[in-house]
Structure formats: structure tokens, C-alpha cells
Amino acid sequence: MPQTQQLTPHLMFQNGRAEEAMNFYVELFGGEVVSIDRYGAETPGMDGKVMIATFIIAGLRINIMDSSIQHDFDLTPSMSLTFNCTSQEQLDHLWAAFSKDGQALMPLDDYGFGPFGWIADRYGVSWQLGYNPAAAV
């Protein structure tokens, strides 16, 4: 019997781009969309937007949504998703994908523990990407 993931990251978007972001991550990591529920016409300005969706990347379930309420806060880089790459090529590929219209918070470099970079992608989600060649042996 598979164990249920008890802790699930939840990403809330205020710009209506939740589905676009989810599809980008699923394609980039070779994941899958598990479920998607959409707002209907009863929610003004949100018809067809993501009320809640769940997707899986790198074995992790993530919830994502478009908020129907505008808040005084948004995504912040102080909360990030960390991904340990299995090769330098994978690290370079992910860095390039997240760099397109993204913002480097810590440029890709060797900080004494192998290649590492911290970046906010075009959707405002913060990623810490690293590769430890010694661990790959």
C-alpha cells in the first residue's frame, strides 16, 4: 500500500498563471497532472482558472491555485523548492529553463559544496538547484 504524502507544498498565484506554471513544471521535470478543478462563471473574472490542482514532479505532490481574492502578499523567495540534480547537464538544463524571464538570486557557481544556484522563475517560484559530483559517484 503506497504511503500518503502528509506534507504538500501549496503555490498560490494572483496573476491567473497557475495552470501555465504547472504545465511548465510538469514538462520540465517529466511529471504528471493528477487533478484539476476550475472556477466557474459564478466566480467573477475567474471562469476557467485553476481553483485547485495537484501535480507531481520529482516524486513530490504539489498543489497549485489561482486565488479569486487579491491579497497584500505574493510568492516570496524565502520559501523555495530545492532540487538535487543528478548531473551537471541536468543542472545546466534546469538553470537555463528557469532563467528565461527569471531572476538569479544566487548565480550558478561553486560555493564550496559543488555547483549551486538559487533562482526565482518567471512565475515567482524560488528554486535552489545543486549538483554534488562526489555524491553521484
CA–CA gap between residue 127 and residue 130 (Å, rounded): 10
Q: Is 68 within 8 Å of 39 (Cβ atoms)?
A: yes
Residue 5: predicted pLDDT: 87
Q: Do domains 10-66 and 80-136 have the same CATH topology?
A: yes
CA-atom Rg of the chain in angstroms: 16
Q: What is the mean pLDDT of residues 63-83?
A: 94
Residue 1: predicted pLDDT: 47
| CATH 3.30.720.110 assigned to 80-136 | yes
Residue 3: predicted pLDDT: 65
Q: What is the CA 124 to chain-centroid distance, rounded?
A: 9
More confident residue, 57 or 15: 57
Q: What is the mean pLDDT of residues 128-137?
A: 82
- Reported as a single tens digit per residue, the pLDDT across 99-125 is 999 999 999 999 988 899 999 999 999
Say which DSSP state 3 is in. P
CATH fit for domain 10-66, picks 3.30.720.100, 2.60.40.790, 3.30.750.210, 2.10.10.90: 3.30.720.100
Domain boundaries, the chain: 10-66, 80-136
- pLDDT at residue 28 above 70? yes
Cell numbers for 52: 485547485
Residue 113: predicted pLDDT: 85
- pLDDT at residue 2 above 80? no
Interacting residues of 11 by C-beta distance below 8 A, sequence separation 6+: 18, 21, 62, 63, 64, 65, 75, 125
What's the predicted TM-score (pTM) here? 0.91
Residue 137: predicted pLDDT: 54
CA–CA gap between residue 1 and residue 89 (Å, rounded): 35
